[in-house]
């Protein structure tokens, strides 16, 4: 199955990132503080600069983690200085629910490439588009997986998001937090620019478009071989 969508690997484990970097199908990378925490990273800047020694010609996003707008700006400028391929992830709001619009305005004015993240509602995109319509190369990350987790169909939101950001050819929509490989197919079909995926999803890519009769037989063989390996008897 031919994919036009770009695949970004989502994670914070160095060996996984370096492995994916060698994969020509992986066009870029994203991280976040939660993934870094799970990976046991304690020195944010040291980790980022270490990764950037190897990841030089593919985009990678690192997120600010302050909750104060002035400090977010300081962090964003620092992160942006790490490399031309670095995109600064800015959450749509801080923890108080205050929109980061004014922060984004300053960053856009400085031509800093941003990745506006944690978006789940179409009105959130409408809040930032007066600013983002003038942005340099940047991403808008809509968490389609979390929308689906809430019992809502993410497809209408993703389609509307594509329309809203189309006023600026520098903007690309990211289908974030996918839950299964089929999300890659869905995102590709609607013309989404990018989908982020963890290694658990990316390792399933070889099964994309696989003949279902063949897949069925492989499944039967798996059950048979696992039962045999376990030494089951009745």
Question: 């964003």: which residue's tokens?
Answer: 76
Residue by residue, DSSP assigns 111-145 as T--EEEEEE-SHHHHHHHHHHHTT-SSEEEEEEHH
63 CB contacts (<8 Å, ≥6 apart)? 31, 32, 33, 88, 89, 90, 91, 115, 117
Report the candidate in 137, 146, 104, 118 with the shortest Cα–Cα distance to residue 33. 118
Question: How is residue 3 written in tokens?
Answer: 């994919």
Phi and psi angles of residue 76, each rounded to the nearest 5 degrees, phi first:
-60, -45
Integer Cα distance of 176 and 120 in angstroms: 10
- Residue tagged active-site, from 2, 89, 163, 228: 89
Phi and psi angles of residue 89, each rounded to the nearest 5 degrees, phi first:
-80, 125
Active site residue 89: yes
Kindly report the number of other CB atoms within 10 A of residue 208's CB atom.
14
Catalytic residues: 89
């Amino acid at each position: 199955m031919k994919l036009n969508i770009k695949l970004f690997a989502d994670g914070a484990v160095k060996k996984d990132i370096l492995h994916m970097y060698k994969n020509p199908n992986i066009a870029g990378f994203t991280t976040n503080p939660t993934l870094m925490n799970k990976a046991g990273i304690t020195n944010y800047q040291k980790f980022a600069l270490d990764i950037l020694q190897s990841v030089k010609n593919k985009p990678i996003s690192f997120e600010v983690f302050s909750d104060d707008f002035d400090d977010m700006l300081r962090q964003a400028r620092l992160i942006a200085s790490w490399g031309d391929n670095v995109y600064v992830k800015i959450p749509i709001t801080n923890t108080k629910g205050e929109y980061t619009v004014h922060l984004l305005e300053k960053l856009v004015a400085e031509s800093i490439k941003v990745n506006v993240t944690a978006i789940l509602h179409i009105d959130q995109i409408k809040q930032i588009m007066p600013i983002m319509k003038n942005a340099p190369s940047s991403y808008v990350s809509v968490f389609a997986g979390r929308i689906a987790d809430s019992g809502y169909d993410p497809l209408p939101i993703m389609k509307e998001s594509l329309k809203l950001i189309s006023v600026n050819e520098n903007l690309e929509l990211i289908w974030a937090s996918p839950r299964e490989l089929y999300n890659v197919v869905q995102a590709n079909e609607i013309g989404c620019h990018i989908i982020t995926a963890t290694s658990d999803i990316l390792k399933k890519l070889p099964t994309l478009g696989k003949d279902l009769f063949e897949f069925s037989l492989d499944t039967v063989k798996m059950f048979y071989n696992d039962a045999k390996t376990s030494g089951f008897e009745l």
